[in-house]
Amino acid sequence: MTSGAVSVRSETVFTYGAPGLKFGTGASDEIGYDLSQYAVKRVLVLTDPRVAATGHPQRIAEQMAQFGIEARVFTGVHVEPTDESFEAAIAFARETGPWDAYVAVGGGSTIDTAKAVNLLTTNDGDLMDYINAPVGRARAPQHPLKPLVAVPTTTGTGAESTTICVLDVLALKVKTGISHVRLRPTLAVVDPALTMTQPAGVTAAAGMDILCHALESYTARSYTSYDRKSPEQRVPYCGANPISDLWSEQAMSLLAGSFRRAVHHGNDPQAREQMALAATMAGLGFGNAGVHIPHANAYPIAGRVRDFHPAGYPDDEAMVPHGMAVSLTAPEAFRWTFSSSPERHLRAAALLAPDHGYDAGPDALPAVLADLMRDIEIPNGLGAVGYGEDDVDDLVEGAMKQQRLLATAPREVTEEDVAGILGRSLELW
């Protein structure tokens, strides 16, 4: 056998990590028992005011009493968290602690806040010590964290499976995160019954997030395309690999059968359950492979919003929801990445729309996506959420700051490439 063709420097190793998982209707009734297995006595339940109003966090907290666990509910989580909101939650947990475990009941914002609280109540220092460089000092935790149970109430973010938490640093006007393998929740409890009340607009945006998690990790550059890492250099997001591919493909098949139904018939329990399963599977995939261009673009698209108020979301704040922000440049991003692996793009189009008639070329996946987006009433491009030709440079600058994500793209991405993708996404159809 000759080895001359293979560089000794190329990567031969991939890693896979995942939380424990309890999935299904009624799963959230068992958290008291689950935590009792860790011999915990005091538990802090974190949630935001809106989810608190559903009664689920209180119910979960009360149910722990029968296992001799004292639980307290913190309802101050900020949706789209900031360094200030993280610090408020951390201060609360430090003042009322020590806590033996944390339970996060809510969307990605709540689960991310709980990760930061867990980190900063078990390790010294402040937020900036741990935030990704160059914004922060990217310190690794010195001590183990406490058990964290993540209970998602929106189907989409995958935050229950990932090792990162995302936040806005207000003074610097930048969205960044903390990323470390120890941040990953100990147990994800996915109870589709908690997602039944999601309005159609939220289901549509959150579902596009699931879809993009699956598609981006499926089309991410392969783990073998990186230089060989030493053990201490390994990162949770190692590029597409055979295990993440499996989850991504499954997530796409489930979405094909349930996404439209979950949006148009929100009280269909089977569609909700399949969406929850798709979200979980996509999370297990991208939580190891990573995401790329649509997610990099989503940061400035969501962050620089001026006056857009989507249906189904609170009226008081202008916003482009994360899943919507991700989806708006997805068709053009996948047209651009097509040449890196035509077979993967076509396979994804076939999984998502088995009966769709399209040419087997770069237009196939964008056509499938646009068709779906139109059907579930996602806006028809960046123009519809308030951006114009003049904003493209600004958005490019914001996207190029997400090098951690762009590095996972299957082709090298330049400023001009991103400008082209954003420009062609102003009006998608």
Beta strands in 269-408 (DSSP E): none
Kindly indicate which of the ranges 137-145, 172-180, 207-215, 299-307 contains the residues binding Zn ion, using the contact rule CB under 5 A.
207-215
Strand-pairing partners, residue 10, are 227
Instruction: Say if CB 262 and CB 205 are below 8 A apart.
Output: no
Give how many residues touch Zn ion by CB under 5 A: 1
Q: Which residues contact 350 (CB under 8 A, 6 or more apart)?
A: none
Q: CB-wise, 168 or 209, nearer to Zn ion?
A: 209
**Identity of the residue, 99 or 259, whose beta carbon is nearer to Zn ion in the bound complex:** 259
CB of 139 to Zn ion, least distance (A): 25
C-alpha 39, offset from chain centre: 30
Q: Name the one range near Zn ion by CB under 5 A: 46-54, 206-214, 275-283, 331-339.
A: 206-214
Stretch that binds Zn ion, among 202-210, 327-335, 336-344, 362-370 (CB under 5 A): 202-210
Q: Among 205-213, 244-252, 307-315, 379-387, which window interacts with Zn ion (CB under 5 A)?
A: 205-213
CA-CA-CA-CA torsion sign (249, 255, 257, 258): positive
CA 67, CA 65: separation in Å to the nearest integer? 5
Cβ nearer to Zn ion, comparing 34 with 209: 209
Q: Phi and psi at residue 394, in whole multiples of 5°?
A: -60, -45
Nearer to Zn ion, 160 or 209 (CB): 209
Q: Which stretch binds Zn ion (CB under 5 A): 170-178, 180-188, 209-217, 310-318?
A: 209-217
Q: How far is the CB of 152 from Zn ion (least distance, A)?
A: 13
Report long-range pairs for 18-21 (Cβ below 8 Å, ≥24 apart).
18/161, 18/184, 18/284, 18/287, 18/288, 19/150, 19/160, 19/161, 19/184, 19/185, 19/186, 19/187, 19/188, 20/186, 20/187, 20/188, 21/187, 21/188, 21/190, 21/280
**DSSP letter (8 states) at residue 29:** G
Looking at beta carbons only, is 298 or 346 nearer to Zn ion?
298
At its nearest, how many Å lie between Zn ion and the CB of residue 235?
18
Shorter beta-carbon distance to Zn ion: residue 83 or 209: 209
**Rule CB under 5 A: is residue 160 a binding residue for Zn ion?**
no
Selected range binding Zn ion among 15-23, 70-78, 116-124, 201-209, rule: CB under 5 A: 201-209
Residues 361-380: x where in contact with Zn ion by CB under 5 A, - otherwise, as a string: --------------------
Shortest CB 335 distance to Zn ion, Å: 20
Smallest distance, Zn ion to C-beta of residue 209, A = 4
Pairing of β 20-23 and β 70-74: unpaired
Amino acid at 278: A
Nearest partner of 192 among 23, 55, 19, judged by Cα = 23
- Rounded CA gap, 138 and 128, in Å? 8
**Min dist. Cβ of residue 404 to Zn ion (A):** 14
CB of 194 to Zn ion, least distance (A): 19
Among 48, 80, 191, 209, binds Zn ion (CB under 5 A): 209
Closest distance of CB 216 from Zn ion, Å: 9
Token output for 377: 């009433």
Give the nearest distance from C-beta 166 to Zn ion in angstroms.
9
CB of 121 or CB of 203, closer to Zn ion: 203
* Binding region for Zn ion (CB under 5 A): 209
